[in-house]
Amino acid sequence: MSNRARFVINRAAFREQVLKSPELQRQIQSACEDASGKGIDVSVRDGVNRSGAVMSCPERDETKHGLLTQATGRLRL
């Protein structure tokens, strides 16, 4: 029989060190830009609790060519 483990996370520290880390944000933005091709816009979002990058393209291009699907397949972090 296994013993249970309990983990306690300091939310404020986790948010600042991981979710809003400038170094991690640069890596995510760079990876999104490398994976995106012609017709895909990459924008950086700096939220209250976490940051990230958003890849977007017109719906007609995604429907016809699958640009976002291909870009997410090329995404490497």
Q: pLDDT, tens digit, for every residue of 54-70?
A: 899 999 988 899 999 99
- Per-residue model confidence as pLDDT tens digits over 19-37: 888 888 899 899 999 998 8
Closest CA to 29 of 11, 42, 15, 12: 42
Query: Quick one: pLDDT at residue 32?
Result: 92
Q: Which residue has the tokens 């944000």?
A: 25
Count the residues in the chain: 77
In the structure, what pLDDT confidence band is assigned to residue 1 with cuts at 50, 70 and 90? low
Amino acid residing at 26? R
Q: Which two tokens stand for residue 59?
A: 């719906």
Which tokens in the block code for residue 8? 């306690």
Q: Mean pLDDT for the chain?
A: 87
Of 50, 42, 63, whose CA–CA distance to 15 is shortest? 50
Q: What's the pLDDT score for residue 15? A: 83
